[in-house]
Structure formats: C-alpha cells, structure tokens
Amino acid sequence: MAVLLLAEIAGGALALDATAKAVTAAKSLGDVTVLVAGPAAAGQAASQIDGVAKVVVADDAAYANGLAEPVADLVVSLAGNYEHIVAPSTASAKNILPRVAALLDVMVLSDVTAILDGSTFERPIYAGNAMQTVKSNDSKKLLTVRTTAFDAAGQGGSAAVEAIAAAGNAGLSAWVEDKVAASDRPELTSAKVVVSGGRGVGSEENFAIIEALADKLGAAVGASRAAVDSGFAPNDWQVGQTGKVVAPELYIAVGISGAIQHLAGMKDSKVIVAINKDEEAPIFQIADYGLVADLFDAVPDLTKALKE
C-alpha cells in the first residue's frame, strides 16, 4: 500500500526533524513517497531519509510560501495513487491537510499519536485529557502525526527523486510577509531541553533570566499562553493545547501554574522540573522535581550552579 507524505518546508528548506518523524509513522502504513512542494534541494534532503521509497518535487513559485490553496490542489492531484496521506502536525500541515480532505470528501485525523493498523489510529482529545482510538471508514485516510510521538527516521536513504509539474494556482490568497525571529537556539519542538517561562516571569525584560538558563543548557525557550498574551514572549514560543507540543529530555517550567492547557503541550517530557513560589501550584503534581522558590532568586542561582 502506498503512502504520500507531505514534507514540511520551513524557510525554503526541508524541516528535517518534523519530516523524518512523520516518515517513521508513515513507514508503518506502506511504501512512502515524499512530496516536496518546494525547491529541488529540499527534495534531495528528503531522499536521504531512511525508509523513503521515492521523492516527488514540485518546485514552483506557487508553493514558495506554503499557501494552503495551491498546496492542497497539488496534493489532491496526486491523491489517486495513495491510500494514506500523512504529514507532521505542524501549523502548515494542519492548515493544508483538512482542505485536502474536504476536496476528497474524507475526514482528517489530527495529531495522531499511534497507528494501530491501516485504518485505526489513536489521538488525544480534550487537551490530552482523554485518548481516543478511532477507526476510519473512509476510502483514504488523511492524518497529521504528532512529532513527539514518533522517533525521527535516520539518514542514509537514497530514494529516487522525480520532478513533477505544478498543479496551478487559483490565486485565492497571496503572501505578504513573514515575521520570523532568527535564533541560534535549538528549535522548540525538537530541542533536548526546554526552559519555559510563565506569567510569573513578569515582563519581557525579565525573560532574559529564562533565556540565560536556556542558553546555559543549550535549550530552547518556551512560554505559557499567559506569558505570550502579556507580551513577554513571542507567539511561536507558546507550549500547550493550542501552541506547540514538546517532549524533551528535560522541561523546566518557571513561574507557570500548570493549567491543563499548558500540560497538554509538555506532559510527555521525560523529566519535568517546576520552579514556582506557590507550593500549591498544580504543576508540582506532574513534576519530577519541584522547587518552591522565588524564580528571581532560583533561576539565576541555577544558571550559576550549572556553570560550575
């Protein structure tokens, strides 16, 4: 059985980690053809992922900014040959795949965490407060897979790469600009360590102490919704039900109370550390190590202690 995997493209290049994790999920369903709606170099990179049978590349200006309408039309134009269409659960794929599904008159499954067989999948609902197993009765199964639930496929593949024609652009939308903050830090969803700050951090300036600890640990920086809403941190740092889902080796939550919507995005982390001045904070109920302390003392101390 054949699987079409929509590669994640970010900043004009293959997002290797997200794509390689989706490959692991897709491999269990059949032979994987990766679709790159982007430059040839991204197609080359995808061909080296272990387990990829074939790569098709549609390199066209229409796809340069990942707009949903032309990319969805491209996927639909190829869909006939595949029983499964898979993508990593990124903002981009979640924008595109439901559109593809409706055009094919099938349902979509978002955030799949386990593949039980070709038509049975597990996914979290209610911010991860329940796990649902569903069986799809559709002729085609379209799913986005949670990248935290699958290990990245390795390198060493040498799949054939084929250029394919674009599928047109109805011009329903047009790109204006991207505001992407450049950062030397690891990417939030693939970082081994994440340090997150919440409302307790108090201001954008104070976030510097969170960032200093993160840099000491080579970590990515995350934030609660309250911290983002208050303007302490940019939107793409939000961890949670409606932000990013992370599962690093170590997650340090600082000045975060532990609302279920936040836990939904980090409770699968291997080791969780919580620093909060309120000993009743719900975050302590899921933390491996909890420290009741004022973050303005504890975080600089911790950063210093790690230096020694």
Interactions with another protein, residue window 225-264 (CB under 8 A):
225, 228-229, 234-236, 241-242, 244, 249-250, 260-261
289 contributes a contact to another protein by CB under 8 A? yes
303 contributes a contact to ligand FAD by CB under 6 A? no
To another protein, the closest distance from the beta carbon of 55 in angstroms equals 22
160 contributes a contact to another protein by CB under 8 A? no
The nearer residue to another protein, 1 or 181, going by C-beta atoms, is 181
Q: Is 228 annotated as a binding residue?
A: no
Cα 233-239-241 angle, rounded to 5 deg: 135
Number of residues that bind ligand FAD (CB under 6 A): 27
Alpha carbon distances (Å) from 7 to 74, 155, 223, 225, 293: 13, 15, 27, 28, 44
Q: Is 247 annotated as a binding residue?
A: no
To another protein, the closest distance from the beta carbon of 300 in angstroms equals 9
**Tokens 């979640």, located at residue:** 94
* Pairing mode of beta strands 271-276, 52-57: unpaired
Q: Is 48 annotated as a binding residue?
A: no
Q: Is 256 annotated as a binding residue?
A: yes
**Residue 139: helix, strand or coil by DSSP?**
coil
Backbone CA torsion sign across 21, 27, 29, 30: positive
Question: CA-to-CA distance for 78 and 81, rounded, in angstroms?
Answer: 7
Q: Which two tokens stand for residue 83?
A: 């029983």
For 304, residues 6+ apart whose C-beta sits below 8 A from its C-beta are none
Closest to 34 (Cα-Cα) out of 70, 75, 5, 2: 5
Per CB under 8 A, the segment of 36-44, 48-56, 147-155, 164-172 that binds another protein is 164-172
Residue 53 binds what, of ligand FAD, another protein, none (CB under 5 to 8 Å, by partner type)?
none
Alpha carbon distances (Å) from 23 to 18, 55, 243: 9, 12, 23
Interface positions, 188-247, toward ligand FAD (CB under 6 A): 198-200, 224-227, 238-243
* Pairing mode of beta strands 160-163, 52-57: parallel
Residue 249: CA count within 13 A, CB half-sphere: 6
Interface positions, 179-218, toward another protein (CB under 8 A): 179-181, 189, 193, 217
20 contributes a contact to another protein by CB under 8 A? no
Residue 67 binds what, of another protein, ligand FAD, none (CB under 5 to 8 Å, by partner type)?
another protein
Q: Please select the residue that binds another protein; options are 39, 128, 157, 197, rule is CB under 8 A.
A: 128
The nearer residue to another protein, 22 or 100, going by C-beta atoms, is 100
Residue 163 burial (CB count, 10 A): 12
Interface positions, 114-143, toward ligand FAD (CB under 6 A): none
> In whole angstroms, how large is the CA radius of gyration of the chain?
20
Q: Is 258 annotated as a binding residue?
A: yes
To ligand FAD, the closest distance from the beta carbon of 230 in angstroms equals 9
Interface positions, 238-297, toward ligand FAD (CB under 6 A): 238-243, 255-257, 259, 261-262, 265, 276-278, 281, 294-296
30 contributes a contact to another protein by CB under 8 A? no
Closest to 136 (Cα-Cα) out of 84, 100, 78, 80: 84
Residues in contact with ligand FAD by the rule CB under 6 A: 198-200, 224-227, 238-243, 255-257, 259, 261-262, 265, 276-278, 281, 294-296
